[in-house]
Structures are given as C-alpha cells and as structure tokens.
Chains A and B, each alone.
Chain A
C-alpha cells in the first residue's frame, strides 16, 4: 500500500517536474559525428536568430528554444537536407525574422542600396578632392 502511494506520488510529481526541467533535445548539445556535416550545421546555426534572446544566434544560446532549433538543424543536415532548404523551412515557420542571412527583398533593399551609394559617394569625394588643382 505504501509502495503504491509512493508510486502514485511519483507519477503525479513527474509531469510537474518535467514542466520546468524537460531534457533538451538530443542534438541540442551534441555534435554530429561527421565533421563535414557538423561544420555545415554550425555555419547554418550561426546565421539563425535565437528568437528568445537579444541579438544572439542559436549557436550562442542556452535558451531551450535555441536548443530545439539546433537539434532540428543537426538532424536535418544529417538526413542530407540542403542548408538552404532548412533555412527556408524555418523561415516559413517563424518568418523571415529568424534568418540573419541578408536577402534582398522589397523590405530589405535599402540595406544593400545604401552601401552601394556609399561607395559611389566615397569615389566622388576622392575625385573631387584630388582632381581639382588650385
């Protein structure tokens, strides 16, 4: 009887304990065995944003969500998926916001146009400065 009570207590306690301490997904903190695949995964993870953090990639974060995303990235790379496909899949789930990789689009074109403009302005400044003689 006491055993049963204990067992019951343990069963009741287990879910609540699991709530705050769910074990991280297997590949959140485990590297892939193939170094080439791991390098590809690492490269991809460094350009994916941790959505729970401030300006950190999922490769630099202890947040559990970042761990889950690392797990996803690693198992998909291991299954032979292309890094770009994985990025697309994550972007379709979490929005463009999840990717740090700069992509030219209707909302981001100034990020590319302005540096080009800067190069032109710099060139023009040098020309003006150094061709006109006193």
Chain B
C-alpha cells in the first residue's frame, strides 16, 4: 500500500506539472489576471508537497525493507544498518532520479511561494518552463524507471549487502551533486522565463543568483568530497583522473562559476544580459549531460549502451528537447535583447568578461576531451584522452584567467584607470616573478607545477587585496565570500602544484623488522598480522614511522580480502601533518617472505581539499550576504508601500 501511495502521489504531481505548464503558457497569452494564471503557483506548491510524499514513501519502504518492491529487493537487505537502508533509497538509478525530481519540485514550490520581485508575466513563464522540465523527468521516472514497481513474488531476501557500498561518503556524495544540478535547473527556468518575456533585468539576475550560488556551493562540495574519496579509497594517491564521471561534475561547476560572475554583473550593473542567459542555458545543459553520462551506461562502453539503450535514449531525448528548445528560443530572442550597459577595457565588468570567456573555453576543452573518445568509439576507433591532454590544454586558458582574477576585483565598475591600482598590480606581478624564479632555482620542477606554485602565491596575496584599507567589520558578507572563495582557489592550486612537484614515492619490499625511508620519514615494518572482520580477512602491516627525528607513530594499513563478492581492497592509512600527508598502503606478500609496502610523502596535498572547502565557504557567505540583502530590500519596499498607503488615506 505504501508503494502505491508513493506512485499515486508521483502521478498526481506529474498531472500538476502539466497544469503548471499550461497555466503559465495561458497566462502569457491571456494575461496574468486570468483565472488559470492564478493556478500556476498553487500547482507548483502542491506538486512539491506531493513529490515529497512520494519520496517519503520510498524511504519508508526501504526503512521497513518491503521486499515485494523490486527496487528494495534489488538494492537492500534486512541486515543492513538503518542509515544504509535509507541511503540505499537513492543509491540506485530509480531512487536517485526520484530524489532529483523531489529536489526540483521543492525548489519549484519555493520560487512559486516566495519569489515576488519579478514581473508576474516573467514568473508565469519561469514556472511554465519549470513545469515543462519537471514533466520530462516525471515521464522518465513513470515510464521507464518506476521506483515503486512491485514483484509478483516477494523476494525472500534482498540482494544489496555489498559492504563496499556501505560508506557514509558514498551515501552523501550523489545527493550533493544532485542539489547542484537541480539548482542550475531553476536558474535555467528563470533564464527561459526572462527570455520569453524579454525581461532580462537586474531583478531577474537577483532572483536567479541565490539558486546559482546554492548550486555552486553544492557542486564545489561534491567535487571536493569525490576527489578526496578517490584519493583515499583507490590506494595510489591520485586525486583526479579526468575520468568522464569526474568531468561530468566538473563541467556544470565550470559553467556555474561563469554564470555566477555573469549574473553578478547583470545584477549590479545591468550589463552582460545575453551572456547571462546563454550561460544559464549552458549550465543546465551540462547538468543534463552529466546525468546522461553517468546514468545511461554509455561510459562503460558505447556498445553496451547501444544494446540496452532505453534509458539512455530517454535522457538523450530530454537533453535534445530542453537544450535544443532553449537554444532555439535563444536564437530567436537574443537579437531583441540589447547588450545592456557598456563598459571600458579597464573595468571590473571587462575582467569578468575575460574570466567568463576563459572559463567557457576550459569547459569546452573538458567537454571535447570527454565526448571525443565516445564519438570515435562509435566508429570503432579507440582514442585515449587523459591527463597529458587535459592538463596542458586547460592550462593555456587557466593561467591567463588567473592573472585577470588577481587584478579584476581591484578594479571599479564601468570605468577605471590602470594608474589607480598600479601599485597593487606591481606588487602581484613582482610576487609572481619572484616566486617563479625562486621555485625554478630551488626546485627546478616541471613547467606546470612551477607555474602553479608561483600563481598560487601571487593569487593568494592578490585575493586579499580588496580588503586593504577597509574597515574589516564593515566589509559586506558577500565581499568576504568573494575574498575567501578566491583565496580558497589559490590554496587548492598550491596543493595541486605542490603534490605534483614534491611528492616522493617509495615502493619497498620489507621483511619483518626491515626499514626504509620516504621523504623526511623513516619507516620500519615491525610485524605483519592477520585480522578477521565480519566478512573479510586482512593482513595488517604494523608500521613504525617517524618524521625527521620526532617521536615515532604506529600505523597499520591493511590489505583486505572480502569473501562475498570476492574482492581485494586496500585500507590505506593517511598520516596528516600541517605540511602534508604520509600515505601508506600494504600490498600483498611477495614470494620470498618480504612484504610489499607502498609509501608516499605528499607535501601540502591536503591544501587541495582545504581549498575546496574554503571555496564552498566563500560561496555560502556570498549566498547569506545576498539573501540578507534581498530580505532587507523586501522589508524596505513593504514599508514604503505601507507609508504610501497611509499617505493616500490621509490625503
């Protein structure tokens, strides 16, 4: 019964999405005062409630492990801890798509409920677009991925007890990215709404901005967490592989970053109207593309996709429909939207334009490198595109962008002259050169890490310069957000460059009592002990490690063997110091009684993720600052309206 309630709620929500869409469209034609226009907002709000009910029902059937539901039988097990039963609800295709529409419908309900700044026509168009997008996902769920499907014979026991997937990080990582994707879908709906009614105004940018910021924060966190997970789980110390799945989350992030800056310009200066709309469309396209890449199975093999193409084709159809439709609308309307306010070369807008173009170029490179191998594979030509391609080609666009990023925030809006900030520019340039020469002389690393290190130093200082000469307590929260996010990027860049320039690797075969070194660490293998877990056995190497004459520490990395399914994993141990991490992995034994031990000393590698967290924190502060500002403006507007009414009454 529970599953049926969930399914019924989902169908009703889909019907309401139709109403929302039709209501919005009719409102555009018949005027916003018509009766049907009055239904659009309530439809969106009710829809949010219904989908929430549906998702709650899914959580419920997972919580009680109702094995007559196919999805539960396939992905859960009575013996799982409750937290993993619940997270199992979205740890699979159908459930994750339901989570997607749930978040999307709740977001739709929220804008229908509280967004009153925009002209009503634009809001109606936005909600219609939102309904249209949601409808595609409802169709996808209901027609090809029904999460509530029953089995004719209830299963005796569920299949999903894979211990490797019972990981809290794995439970939280996908929803984080989905929140990001959905936030961009809202931005997309706003863009379409503004395009339809030709109301590309600063108010539109302000309405859209919190959603972009929120999406951006979630994407940043998702990418950072995913990267750290790969780093500790895969056991070889790599943190980014330019894998298509990783790129699927990076591409929306790049687009969202560009959109964020462009929307800022539109909100404060009424410039870059066309750019903002374009980027809104691109950002959502990248989210859809990401979903398609991950969900369709095309990545395992183009040919596997061709054998069972139902879901993939469905998403591809949705992708073509929304993106094609939006681009068509854009092509039809872009001509009638003026570019907005002009600005000179020495202005903050100009710096942001450069930043946007560079981000878009990096996005294009990542997109090309991700899709090109899939394209050639369809013609039976296998091409490998990996780090040796992405790193240098991306760098061509990245480093010029960093230069502009260092200087841009110091410039004034509209028109400035370079002379005013010549001291700051000289300082940053001098730092950059000094760091470059110093690193080259001292370490003689390869070009890219060298550039990375010196740019990181210069950018870290430059990102703090906007605070100079200001009373720190009066700096707006949103400005703090920008400063911290830019600083965070410098920190992350420093971590990446340092990892690639200074990492030390030691692969050693040690007998018990044997010693080796890695970087500043002295390592001794004291003993190797067998350990038995609930469903695995392991060999744990008792390592005694000491950093440059400090007190030794005991660590015990394991090499684990799971029985069902049989699988070997490494449980690496990370020893974190302020200046880096020791990464220790226990390999299997060699034949001659010696044990394989893999050790890395990675100076400042943790800065990569600290940087990511700082960037997200910056985004969060900006979000708080903007929302507070919006609320304050709303209160002022309400008070003004009240006073005006009073005055009229007195008159």
Contacts and interface: CB of A to CB of B under 8 A. Distances in A.
Interface in B441-482: none
Given A23-B590, A55-B244, A118-B361, A129 B384 contact: no
Given A60-B238, A102-B388, A111-B369, A55 B243 contact: yes
Nearest to B345: A130
Contact of A134 (B342, B353, B570): B342
Interface in A87-125: 95-102, 107-108, 110-111, 114-115, 118-119, 122, 125
Interface stretch (B71-79, B163-171, B375-383, B540-548): B375-383
B357 A126 contact: yes
Interface string B383-424: 111111100010011000000000000000000000000000
Contacts of B506: 31
B386 A55 contact: yes
A59 B350 CA distance: 43
Contacts of B590: 23-24, 29
Contacts of B357: 122, 125-126
Nearest to B300: A54
Contact of B507 (A23, A30, A61): A30
Contacts of A102: 385, 388-389
B449 to A, nearest CB: 13
Nearest to B357: A122
B434 interface: no
A37 interface: no
Contact of B388 (A60, A95, A101, A134): A101
Contact of B396 (A96, A107, A115): A115
B241 interface: yes
A119 B243 contact: no
Contact of B389 (A23, A55, A61, A111): A111
A110 B361 contact: no
A97 B382 contact: yes
B238 A56 contact: yes
Nearest to B377: A97
Contacts of A31: 505-507
Q: How large is the interface on B (under 10, 10 to 19, 20 to 34, 35 or more residues)?
A: 35 or more
A107 B383 contact: yes
A118 B368 CA distance: 11
Nearest to A21: B588
A78 B80 CA distance: 51
Interface in B337-381: 342, 344-345, 350, 353-354, 357-358, 361, 364-365, 368-369, 372, 376, 381
B241 A60 contact: yes
A73 to B, nearest CB: 13
A81 interface: no
B235 A62 contact: yes
Contacts of B153: none
B591 interface: yes
A54 B506 CA distance: 25
Contacts of B60: none
Interface in A52-75: 54-57, 59-62
Interface in B230-244: 234-238, 241-244
B295 interface: no
Contacts of A126: 353-354, 357
Given A23-B590, A62-B570, A130 B383 contact: no
A55 B358 contact: no
B150 interface: no
Contacts of B397: 118, 122
Contact of A114 (B353, B364, B598): B364
Contacts of B236: 56, 59-62
Contact of A100 (B299, B361, B388, B505): B388
A54 B234 CA distance: 12
B385 A111 contact: yes
B121 to A, nearest CB: 30
Given A100-B387, A115-B396, A125-B357, A110 B372 contact: yes
Contact of B587 (A29, A99, A111): A29
Nearest to A20: B566
Given A29-B598, A114-B368, A134-B342, A57 B243 contact: no
Best-buried of A24, A42, A108 by chain B (most CB within 10 Å): A108
Contact of A111 (B242, B368, B509, B588): B368
B176 interface: no
A29 B386 contact: no
B396 A119 contact: yes
B388 A122 contact: no
A96 to B, nearest CB: 7
B596 interface: yes
B385 A57 contact: no
B376 A54 contact: no
B382 A95 contact: yes
A121 B483 CA distance: 30
Contacts of B598: 29
Contacts of B244: 55
B546 to A, nearest CB: 22
Contacts of A122: 357-358, 361, 397
B387 A115 contact: no
Given A55-B242, A62-B570, A122-B361, A97 B507 contact: no
Nearest to A134: B342
Interface of B: 234-238, 241-244, 299, 342, 344-345, 350, 353-354, 357-358, 361, 364-365, 368-369, 372, 376, 381-389, 393, 396-397, 505-507, 509, 568, 570, 587-588, 590-591, 596, 598
24 contacts: A24-B588, A29-B596, A49-B384, A54-B243, A55-B386, A57-B387, A60-B241, A62-B235, A96-B383, A97-B382, A100-B384, A100-B386, A100-B389, A107-B383, A111-B369, A111-B372, A111-B385, A114-B365, A115-B368, A115-B393, A122-B357, A125-B357, A126-B354, A126-B357
The 4 closest A-B pairs by CB, nearest first: A100-B386, A55-B243, A60-B236, A97-B382
Given A23-B590, A55-B386, 15 more contacts: A24-B588, A24-B590, A29-B587, A49-B386, A54-B243, A56-B238, A57-B386, A60-B241, A62-B236, A95-B382, A114-B368, A115-B364, A118-B365, A118-B397, A122-B358
